[in-house]
Structure 1
Amino acid sequence: MTEHECAMANYDSELNEAFLSDLNQGSSEQEAAVVNLIAGETLLLRCRHNSISPLRWLKDSRSPEGKQIRDEIYHVSHCYLLIDMVMMEHNGTYSCLSSVDNRTKSIHVQVLEHGFVNVQLKEMNQVSALARESLCLQAEVNAYPEPRCHWVTPRGRVACSAPSRYRASRIFRHCKPDPGEYQLTVENNEMSITRNMTVCVVDTPAVAIALTKDNIQCSANGTSLNVTWRYCQMSTKCHEDALWHGMMPQTMQKSKLEDFCQQSHFTSVSLSELEDNIIVKCCANSTFSSPQCSATITLKKHPSVITQMIVILFILLLLIFLIVLNIMIKNKKPRYESQIQVLQIVGPLDNDYIYINFKEFSYNLELEFPRENLKLGKELGSGAFGKVVKATAYGLSQPGVSMQVAVKMLKDKHHPVEREALMSELKMLVHIGRHVNIVNLLGACTESGPIYLIFQYCCNGDLLNYLKNHREQFQKSLSDMFDLKRFRYLFQTELTFREREGSFNSTYIPMSPMLFRDTQEPSRASIHGGINEELDSLEELHILTYHDLLSFAFQVAKGMEFLSSQNCIHRDLAARNVLVTQEKFVKIGDFGLARDIENDDNYVVRGNARLPVKWMAPESLLQGVYTKQSDTWSYGILLWEIFSLGVTPYPGMKVDQKFYMLIEGGFQMEQPYYASDSMYAIMRLCWALTPQDRPHFSKLVAVLETQLEDSENQLYINTGEKALSQSIYQNADVLPAHRRPNREDEKVAENVSRETEVPPGPASIPTELTPLNEG
């Protein structure tokens, strides 16, 4: 290699590109006709000729500034022009000239003060269904410095593939696009440009015409349609296009269909404005297909028997079509929506409301969690639309620490509307905030892949199965299980838990990125380290007491009080939708996405939906009205589940027309086996037929808090010396045959009755309950 060749090779490695002109070839698409540089950069031009010929570079017929280096290798001549730092005065046309055969080739050098990006594309792309597979979205980009780009498609973000070059431009393509809206973002170190594109797949228009008593109606579906009416006298045979005459329609309506770019056109003409014995046709013209027409014959004054038969046959076919369409609509899978909804009151009554649509709400990207720090595990639940899986999150609470979480997601094959609904649910959860008795949102993954909602993981499952699995371990009190020394430790623990429950009064915790990382619940053992052994032994024994049932009821009421304060309604409050964590904390969840209601006997087909009938208030069941008071009714059913240790409500009763009549008539279940009289009085208040007569959750929290305090005071009494001679902890009367009202029951019933009168209980239909019998 010669000295000049080595020098040029060094420049090539530093500049990455030498702009080449080959005198032996014509202009090609790969050769740049214009060279763009920013002031201060280095320009290197190279000229080549396949002969021994002196070459030189000229600018405007004069020798340009810079260093020209010539060499000859294997009968090929080269000439380099090097300018270390280009300035504005170096703008111009540079030509390479051969002294032997006078061949020349020119290239224009443009020195810029800063970089630029220019994008040329076709914004509206319409293609027929047959040509869809061969369609490629194309953008011509002229930019300096080197541009980067990506597409945003209906399926997500996609990086641009390697471009092809055309002169000084780059051609970026995205082939086989789905119908919908697209964005192309092109950027370099200087600027960024985003352009929008749409893809519409059009097909042959579908046209249908119908004859009614007063008019002729025409409906057409398609893209970019022009619907027209024409008529012809029957006596002319109508074989020539000139015999058809246009007419103006009486009505013209347009509406969008679910398919992108598709529209539905509806138009009609009045029979009173038409002549006798004519043929009428409705035509739809589209850019990508031939005109499609549908015709009918009208004989206004003297209709023939054949015409009458045709009309009757058409009506029968239309009825069959409507019946089939109605069946298809009923069998169509409903769209996914979150079970929890936020209300906006729009009238003077509580049932004058609308659901808030969170589609247009903004999403705080600070809540985003790195997808690579999430390791998905086994599936916890699956439904028609999605599933919930157990996962391990690394660095969610604090750097370097992993924790167990539950991840909510859509199934692989889902509709874009369902993805939009899950995104709206994420925004709604951010809007609602956090509470200790709600399954709280910890973070989300929304970018570069499927949407993941990250929730707290509740290790003990749902409350319904927890109650069923611990029936054999139920004790009236813990005094039957421990001696006096252990009972004193337990009393200290209960007082600590009572202090912690007092802190629940401040329930609303605003959403913030830092709070998303704080997922630890208060721990009894962390407050009183000296009782760790006692708590561990209790957890191993899985002891369940009446005080625990009271605590479950109180915690659910606190969670619902918080949701009510945020104008939220749950619409499916039941023990199966309440989760249990360590140390008997309970949290209200939303299983609208991952519960298999198709195979769940608790969800009964009613109309075109599956509903939890036995948990629904009369106004929700019969009128479709959901309010905070309807959640109060469901809470009363949940109390019945808790104090029967998981027995299905209305045991032995089928959900049929007779059941609906009983509920509408004021029928109420009998007192559950493990409930006190005062607790049953609370249930009956929740089941008041008039929604306004049901207590608010704030009132229920106050009453249950009183019962918890009385339960703890009784626990303290039983730890005294008199407890040594007693064998039963008198927390509550739990046997139905021996229920006797005590002072605390009378006090609670009196407090609740001040606000609402207890509705009379059922007398006509007894419901016998036996322990652990689910009917």
Structure 2
Amino acid sequence: MAVSTLDGFNYQTSNTNCCATNSQGKECALIYHYELGKPMRESEAPQILLNPGQSLALRCKANNKKTPVEWFFNNTKLSGLKTLWYASVFKYFSIESVSEHNSGEYVCKSEDGQSKATQVQVQEEDLIEILELNENVRIWEKEKATFCLHVQVLAYPKPQCDWITPIGTKVQSDETHDIWNNHTFKLCNPEPGQYQIQLRADKKLVTKNLSLCVTDTPKFTVLQNLHEVTCMTNSSLPQALSWKICPLPANLLRLLGLLGHGTDTDVLRAYLCPAGQPHPSTFHPEEKGPLQLLRKTLIRKLCGINQSVCLGCILPFAQ
């Protein structure tokens, strides 16, 4: 004899798991609950995935028992069971054994215009659909300790996930999110290299390859002489370098008279960018006041760093 059990905090207001147990084992089916007059909640399934032969049970609640409530399938009215509970009315619809022709949209409607819908998909084969996966990942070294590789999939039945690491080790991934057949798996603080992810849902197997590159923050060096400025970096990631001419602010133009060298380009280059200068942060110690301010302002504009982009300023007097 089979023993039936009901699991649920309050079967009148939430999804209810109905299970039957006998000597052959245990089988469960979910009663999908929807409540009219309220926004769609996370507990209300927007999509239901089933295999042929499984059962489907839907329950709709309206908080006014005087309001007629009906289930519709692809705009066709369905016959179902109606129950009352205090001031609420419930309308049930169920199918003992579904087939592919039961796939479609099921909508619960009340006579006062309220409704909620779910999409039922009955499929012969197991399903794994990758919704989100970055196959070429690049991160900074400082991000590694808190970084996680992750994959988001739509799958039925419930999937398993394994990560194959660069050294060939298989790591079973814990599921971090599971809501209505949407599953997220993560692998945290990974080492750089080539990875393979294996996703299995019963007989369905999907594998994907991905790579992780971990790099340190690039450091830039700027060298200059009388004729050119060179910006160099040593990094594991290719860097895109670009240069631009910076306009000289009007207030600095007025300070040029303090140089005492006129506005000849070569003279200004020789004075502001002396040959052999190791870095633009080195200044003449004897300079004071407006002259020192002018040099510092111009030289500091020489190379502004923003991650992988080097912005150079070849003095505004360049011909």
TM-score normalised by length of structure 2: 0.61
Conservation of the 8 A alpha-carbon contact between 1:146 and 1:188:
yes
Q: Partners in 1 of 2:182 and 2:191 — Cα distance?
A: 26
Give the Å deviation of 1:217.
Answer: 11
Match of 1:75 in 2: 87
1:131 match: secondary structure: helix
Q: 1:291 aligns with which of 306, 310, 318?
A: 310
**What do residues 138-179 of structure 1 show as CA deviations (whole Å, max 9, x unaligned)?**
211011122111222347332222231456522223333333
From 226, 235, 242, the equivalent of 1:221 is: 235
Matched letter for residue 234 of structure 2 = A
Identify which of 60, 72, 75 aligns with 2:74: 60
Give 2:53's match in structure 1, choosing from 40, 44, 47: 40
Superposed, 1:736-751 pairs within 5 Å as: none
Structure 2 residue 140 is matched with structure 1 residue 121: no
1:160 pairs with 2:173: yes
For 1:95, which of 101, 107, 111 is the aligned residue?
107
Correspondent of 2:116 among 105, 122, 126? 105
Question: C-alpha separation between the residues in 2 aligned to 1:219 and 1:59?
Answer: 64
Structure 2 residue aligned with 1:135: 147
Report the Cα offset of residue 82 of structure 1.
0.9
Q: Secondary structure at the match of 1:204?
A: coil
The offset of 1:30, in angstroms, is 4.2
Specify the alignment match of 1:197 in structure 2.
210
- Cα displacement (A) at 1:227: 5.3
Residues 42 and 84 in structure 1, CA contact (< 8 A), matched pair in contact too: yes
2:197 to 171, 178, 184: 184
From the CA coordinates, give the structure whose radius of gyration is larger: 1
What do residues 90-114 of structure 1 show as CA deviations (whole Å, max 9, x unaligned)? 1211111223x33110111122121
**In structure 2, C-alpha distance between the alignment counterparts of 1:104 and 1:229, rounded to whole Å:** 60
- In 1, are the aligned partners of 2:72 and 2:108 still within 8 Å (CA)? yes
Q: Please state whether the residue corresponding to 2:98 is helix, strand or coil.
A: coil
Aligned equivalent of 1:15: 28
Letter in 1 for 2:122: V
Q: What CA deviation, in whole Å up to 9, does each residue of 1:262-285 have, x standing for no partner?
A: xxxxxxxxxxxxxxxxx9xx9898
**Percent of aligned pairs with the same amino acid:** 25
Paired residues of 1:32 and 1:168 also in contact (CA < 8 A): no
Structure-1 separation of matches of 2:209 and 2:58:
37
The one-letter amino acid of 1:161's match is D
Separation of aligned partners in 2, 1:42 and 1:107? 16
Q: Residue 183 and residue 36 in structure 1: after superposition, are their counterparts in 2 closer, same or farther (change >3 A)?
A: same
**Pair 103,192 (structure 1): closer, same or farther in 2 beyond 3 Å:** same
SS at match of 1:146: coil
Cα distance in 2, alignment partners of residues 133 and 30 from structure 1? 34
- Tell whether the 8 Å contact from 2:175 to 2:183 is kept in structure 1 after alignment: no
- Deviation at residue 70 of structure 1 after TM alignment: 2.5
2:122 and 2:266 mapped to 1: Cα distance? 75
Q: Is the 8 A contact 2:29 2:55 kept in 1?
A: no
**1:74-473 equivalence runs, <5 A:** 74-99=86-111, 101-119=112-130, 120-154=132-166, 156-165=169-178, 168-207=181-220, 220-226=234-240, 235=267, 237=269, 288-291=307-310
Paired AA for residue 222 in structure 1: S
- CA-to-aligned-CA distance 1:58-81 (integer Å, 9 cap, x gap): 1123223xx622223343432221
Residue 49 (structure 1) aligned with residue 62 (structure 2): yes
Change (3 A) 1:285 1:154: farther
What 5-or-longer segments of structure 2 have no aligned partner? 20-26, 225-229, 246-264, 271-298, 315-319
- Call closer, same or farther: CA 1:82–1:206 in 2, change over 3 Å: same
- Identify the structure with bigger relative contact order (alpha carbons < 8 Å, sequence gap 6+): 2
Distance in 1 (CA, whole Å) between partners of 2:236 and 2:84 is 67
| Count of aligned pairs | 239
Counterpart CA distance in 2 for 1:228 and 1:55 is 66
Contact 1:154 1:181 in 2 (8 A): yes
CA contact (8 A) 1:116 1:190 kept: no
Instruction: Report the equivalent of 2:294.
Output: none
Distance 1:110 1:54 in 2: 27
Give the Cα separation in 1 of the matches to 2:241 and 2:124: 55
Higher percent of residues as strand = 2
Contact kept? 2:36, 2:114, Cα under 8 Å:
yes
Q: Report the CA distance shift for 1:217/1:139 in structure 2 as closer, same or farther (over 3 A).
A: closer
CA distance in 2, matches of 1:285, 1:137: 29
Q: Which amino acid aligns with 2:60?
A: C
CA separation of 1:283/1:227 partners in 2, compared to 1, >3 Å: closer, same or farther? farther
**Structure 1: 5+ residue runs without aligned partners?**
239-278, 296-775
Q: 1:134, CA displacement in angstroms?
A: 3.7
Provide the C-alpha distance between the structure 2 equivalents of 1:68 and 1:11, rounded to a whole number of angstroms. Answer: 19
Distance (Å, rounded) in 2 between the aligned partners of 1:217 and 1:176: 33
SS at match of 1:35: strand
Distance 1:221 1:147, change over 3 A: same
Q: Is the CA contact 2:197–2:208 (under 8 Å) kept in the aligned structure 1?
A: yes
Change (3 A) 1:234 1:121: farther
Aligned to 1:262: none
Alpha-carbon contact 2:239-2:308 (below 8 Å) kept = no
Distance in 1, matches of 2:46 and 2:231, equals 61
Q: Decide which structure has greater helix share.
A: 1
Cα pair 1:90 1:109 within 8 Å, conserved: yes
Alignment partners' CA distance in 2, 1:235 and 1:289:
33
What's the CA shift string for 1:298-336, capped at 9, x where partnerless?
xxxxxxxxxxxxxxxxxxxxxxxxxxxxxxxxxxxxxxx
Q: For 1:221 and 1:292, how far apart are their aligned partners in 2? A: 17
SS of corresponding position for 2:76: coil
Letter in 1 for 2:84: E
Residue in 2 aligned with 1:604? none
Q: 1:190 to 1:284 in 2, by over 3 A?
A: farther
SS in 2 for 1:57: strand
1:48 aligned counterpart, secondary structure: strand
- What is the CA–CA distance in structure 2 between the aligned matches of 1:25 and 1:224, rounded to whole Å? 53
Distance in 1 between the 2:34 and 2:17 partners? 17
The SS at the match of 2:18 is: helix
Change in CA separation of 1:26 and 1:124 when aligned onto 2, cut-off 3 Å? same
Read off the aligned partner of 1:73 and give its amino acid letter: W
- The structural deviation recorded for 1:289 is 4.4
Instruction: Give the deviation of 1:230 after TM superposition.
Output: 9.5
Q: What secondary structure sits across from 1:163 in the alignment?
A: strand
Partner of residue 38, structure 2? 25
Partner residue, 1:502:
none
1:661: which partner in 2?
Answer: none
Whichever residue aligns with residue 186 of structure 1, its letter is L
Root mean square deviation, CA, Å: 4.0
Which amino acid is the alignment partner of residue 236 of structure 2? G
Instruction: Kindly indicate whether the alpha-carbon contact (under 8 Å) linking 1:69 and 1:80 is maintained by their aligned counterparts in 2.
Output: yes
